[in-house]
Structure 1
Amino acid sequence: MLKSGPVWALGAMSGTSLDGVDAAMVLTDGDRILEFGRSAYRAYDDAEHDVLRAALGLWEGAEVAAATQVVERVHAEVLSGFPEAEIVGFHGQTLAHDPRGRGTLQVGSGEGLAAGLGRPVAWDFRSHDVRMGGQGAPLAPFFHHACARWSGMDRPVAFVNLGGVGNITWLDPRRSAPDMNGALLAFDTGPANAPINDLMRARRGLDADIDGALAGAGKVDEGVLSAFTQHAYFRDIPPKSLDRNDFHGILRAVDHLSDGDACATLTRCAVEGVALALDHAPVPVDRVLVTGGGRKNRTMMDMLAQRLQADVHGVEAFDLDGDMLEAQAFAYLAVRVARGMTLSAPMTTGVPQPVTGGRMAWPPG
């Protein structure tokens, strides 16, 4: 059993951008954030990245087995550097996500990790939500609500995470709990960095458009942008979620463009997804807080500021760590799993009622 009261929880995240593993500590009782602790990052090397990329979209087979080995080995390496952690939140690596079909697949076993680390591990965060009729994503919104309360916010605000896939959390911090009616609305906005990174790797052998420099020098193709906004996903009513490959056709759409114009167009598409998402906000917001790698893309941030009718800030403006927010989220959620607290609600994943989730793995003895 986990001791009562606040505990130091360690969370880990390996996102759809496939850049590496983030790990971060949070002191929490599963409701409040009391303190943020230290963090670490371990990038995947080229060989590891290639193994993970080869398994994207697959549900089984040799590629999935190889990806699982990489995920477990790298996470064990990173997480072993935090002996002070009392519980670990292990998200694993999403390879496939089809909540209305085969379900959702995050590879990596919490059982082996718990045995290796000698500490309890919360894992498999998404499956129960999907079994109960939810999308299984996004799961960070409950943590975003806690962050807003920790920061002393007193009016509705939107958190936008621009990782491989974008997602948005509209929240009202005046609601005391994240599973209350009117506290949250969250869903995926569309592709964010994933297609840009894929294009840079394919055309230039680079991992990303650093600082949005190439996009900043390019010109947006309005025809591609217009076609992008006609995608059926944008007509769906939230909550809703995406797989990394749901917009795979967008790369083919920019095949004919120069590198700069292609990057500019993909960046603008990511921004348009956020703008269309904000149309669903229950109450308009005057502040958008950006987390994830996209906030480091100056061109993407400039485009957001020009497109949205709100002030756009990186989360650092409110003393939050945009590099580690998702890892911190799974530290926070790990405590909620251990204590049987809810992880998702109708307006975050579309599940019919607020539900618990996750599994606990305990070290031998």
Structure 2
Amino acid sequence: MKYVIGLMSGTSLDGVDAALIRTDGERIAEFGAGDMHAYTGSERAILQAAVDAALAWNFEGEEPDFSDAEAVLTSSHGDLVAAVIRASGLEARDIALVGFHGQTVLHRAPAGRHKGKTRQIGDGEALAAKTGIDVVYDFRSDDVAGGGQGAPLATLYHAALAAQDQLELPLAVVNLGGVANVTWLAKDSEPVAFDTGPANGLIDAWCQQRLGTSHDSNGELAARGKIDPAALKALMKHPFFAKTPPKSLDRWDFSLDPVQHLGDADGAATLTAFTARTVAAAIDQLGQPGRILATGGGRHNPVLMRMMGEAMGVRPEAVERVGWRGDLLEAEAFAWLAARVAAGLPTSLPSTTGVSRPTCGGRIAHPRS
């Protein structure tokens, strides 16, 4: 068993989460300290500029210069690793690995015979040099090269937790980040996973556009509005929903255009209903779970959670109900995945990403002597 620190910076660009666990890449022997660094306004602006440059590039021609954004990631992630080590009462030499997801700036799913493309920026070598610890990074590229979606990757960690805690199956775990994805766990079958559609991404973008705020705190804006049936129907016509899983999304694949004619509250209510109904439709394809656990920032939105329950007929529960750490779950997942990379164990399966065979994806950077 090794002490490993996992790091996750999501598409919301709000900050980076870090979590320490002790694991061999199969069982989790200990859940250690966790922390979060909220990006400053200047850091967020640099990262958003990298996303904007990536969207304009779209994998055509010369890749943009991401060095400024990678410097922000190295500095913020490295400082957070040090903070978690201090909080744990450990020293850097006690930490075997750091699992460094980096920042997704562009993701294009496979289309027909064409493999997908994905780009997570983050200088693993620089982070290894800063922390003095081996860093596992670039988790998604090998999966994409093998014909997979490159996402979701936390699925096998969800399965490991559920098995270790002996949770009753079938079970659905819904991650409500910028994009929503579902993990489906059933007896005597491999885990299944795919992106279901937007989660907080469109709601956040709406709040930023209309109110200059980062998100709809506690769903208060949506709670004051009414769902517009025509706008919701237009949103549901997006071609993504006709695709057969496995499938994945970029946060920026969807537009606010169908709700632009609505008032602030009605737009928020309609976008929240859109997330709830697309999650419900995805789970309905898989079966009837005995329980639905929700992780990610969206679980803090009571309006979204209520709408999901109404749409699914099973009220989702925050993962804290089973003792999981919802604010740290993805960071834990990348710590666990880092241990699997070091052990040569699969990090994705055909049933979780559509990759052609079980794949161990990731690269290891060692500190310079």
TM-score tier, shorter chain, comes to over 0.9
Q: Helix, strand or coil for the counterpart of 1:245?
A: helix
* Structure 1 residue 312 displacement after superposition: 1.2
- Is 1:8 the counterpart of 2:11? The answer is no
- In structure 2, the partner of 1:178 is none
- In structure 2, the partner of 1:137 is 151
CA distance in 1, matches of 2:95, 2:220: 39
Correspondence for 1:205 among 206, 212, 217:
212
- In structure 1, the partner of 2:276 is 271
Partners of 2:308 and 2:315 within 8 A in 1 = no
CA distance in 1, matches of 2:107, 2:148: 12
Partners of 1:23 and 1:79 within 8 A in 2 = yes
Letter in 1 for 2:192: L
Correspondence for 1:342 among 342, 346, 356:
346
Bigger shift: residues 94-103 or 354-363:
94-103
Letter in 2 for 1:276: A
Q: Which has the higher helix share?
A: 2
- In structure 1, the partner of 2:73 is 71
Partners of 2:19 and 2:331 within 8 A in 1 = yes
- In structure 2, the partner of 1:189 is 196
Bigger shift: residues 111-120 or 88-97:
111-120
The two structures have a TM-score, normalised by structure 2, of 0.91
CA distance in 2, matches of 1:50, 1:254: 26
- In structure 1, the partner of 2:237 is 230
Give the paired residue count.
349
Partners of 1:15 and 1:93 within 8 A in 2 = yes
CA distance in 1, matches of 2:142, 2:23: 23
Question: What does residue range 37-52 of structure 1 map to in structure 2 within 5 Å?
Answer: 37-52=32-47
- In structure 2, the partner of 1:85 is 95
- In structure 1, the partner of 2:163 is 149
- In structure 2, the partner of 1:179 is none
Letter in 2 for 1:36: F
Partners of 1:286 and 1:311 within 8 A in 2 = no
Give structure 2 stretches of 5+ with no counterpart: 58-62, 86-91
Letter in 1 for 2:315: D
CA distance in 1, matches of 2:95, 2:314: 38
* Structure 1 residue 232 displacement after superposition: 1.1
Distance 1:99 1:235, change over 3 A: closer
CA distance in 1, matches of 2:47, 2:282: 29
Partners of 1:234 and 1:276 within 8 A in 2 = no
Bigger shift: residues 316-325 or 220-229:
220-229
Give structure 1 stretches of 5+ with no counterpart: 1-5, 176-181
Partners of 1:286 and 1:309 within 8 A in 2 = no
Letter in 2 for 1:79: V
Question: What does residue range 1-365 of structure 1 map to in structure 2 within 5 Å?
Answer: 6-56=1-51, 58=54, 60-62=63-65, 64-81=66-83, 82=85, 83=92, 84-100=94-110, 103-172=117-186, 174=187, 182-247=189-254, 249=255, 251-281=256-286, 283-365=287-369
* Structure 1 residue 227 displacement after superposition: 1.6
Deviations 1:257-314 (A, max 9, x none): 1111111111111111101111221x42021100000000011011111111223100
Q: Which runs of 4+ in 1 moved over 4 A?
A: none
Letter in 2 for 1:331: A
* Structure 1 residue 151 displacement after superposition: 2.1
* Structure 1 residue 85 displacement after superposition: 2.6
The two structures have a TM-score, normalised by structure 1, of 0.92
Partners of 1:215 and 1:260 within 8 A in 2 = yes
CA distance in 1, matches of 2:109, 2:261: 34
* Structure 1 residue 41 displacement after superposition: 0.3
Among all aligned residue pairs of Structure 1 and Structure 2, give the percentage whose two residues are the same amino acid. 46
* Structure 1 residue 102 displacement after superposition: 6.3
CA distance in 2, matches of 1:220, 1:50: 32
CA distance in 1, matches of 2:210, 2:251: 20
RMSD (Å) for aligned C-alpha atoms = 1.4
CA distance in 1, matches of 2:251, 2:307: 22
CA distance in 2, matches of 1:222, 1:27: 48
Q: Helix, strand or coil for the counterpart of 1:322?
A: coil
CA distance in 2, matches of 1:344, 1:46: 35
* Structure 1 residue 55 displacement after superposition: 2.1
Partners of 2:70 and 2:121 within 8 A in 1 = yes
